[in-house]
Chain A
Amino acid sequence: GEDVEQSLFLSVREGDSSVINCTYTDSSSTYLYWYKQEPGAGLQLLTYIFSNMDMKQDQRLTVLLNKKDKHLSLRIADTQTGDSAIYFCAESIKWTDKLIFGTGTRLQVFP
Chain B
Amino acid sequence: DVKVTQSSRYLVKRTGEKVFLECVQDMDHENMFWYRQDPGLGLRLIYFSYDVKMKEKGDIPEGYSVSREKKERFSLILESASTNQTSMYLCASTGTGGEAFFGQGTRLTVV
**Total B residues in contact with A, Cβ cutoff 8 Å:** 25
**CA distance in complex: A6, B41 (Å):** 10
User: Within the complex, what minimum Cβ distance (angstroms) separates B92 from chain A?
Assistant: 8
**CA distance in complex: A45, B103 (Å):** 13
Q: Is A101 in contact with B58, judged by CB distance below 8 angstroms?
A: no
For the complex, would chain B's binding face be called helix, strand, loop or mixed by DSSP majority? strand
Q: Is B96 in contact with A96, judged by CB distance below 8 angstroms?
A: yes
How does the 8 Å CB contact mask read for B1-28 relative to A, with 1 for contact and 0 for none? 0001000000000000000000000000
Q: Is A103 in contact with B99, judged by CB distance below 8 angstroms?
A: no
Q: Is B100 in contact with A103, judged by CB distance below 8 angstroms?
A: no
**CA distance in complex: A90, B100 (Å):** 11
Q: Is A42 in contact with B48, judged by CB distance below 8 angstroms?
A: no
Interface centre among B41, B96, B102 (most CB of A within 10 A): B102
Known contacts A43-B92, A45-B100, A103-B41; 8 additional CB pairs below 8 A are A41-B104, A41-B105, A42-B90, A42-B103, A45-B99, A98-B58, A99-B43, A103-B42
Which are the 5 A-B pairs with shortest beta-carbon distances? A42-B102, A101-B43, A103-B42, A95-B98, A96-B94
Q: Please give the residue numbers on chain B whose beta carbons come within 8 Å of chain A beta carbons, in ascending order.
A: 4, 30-31, 33, 35, 40-45, 48, 58, 90, 92, 94-96, 98-100, 102-105
17 example contacts (A-B, Cβ-Cβ < 8 A) are as follows: A31-B98, A41-B105, A43-B100, A44-B102, A88-B43, A96-B94, A96-B96, A98-B33, A98-B58, A99-B43, A99-B45, A99-B92, A101-B42, A101-B43, A102-B42, A103-B42, A104-B42
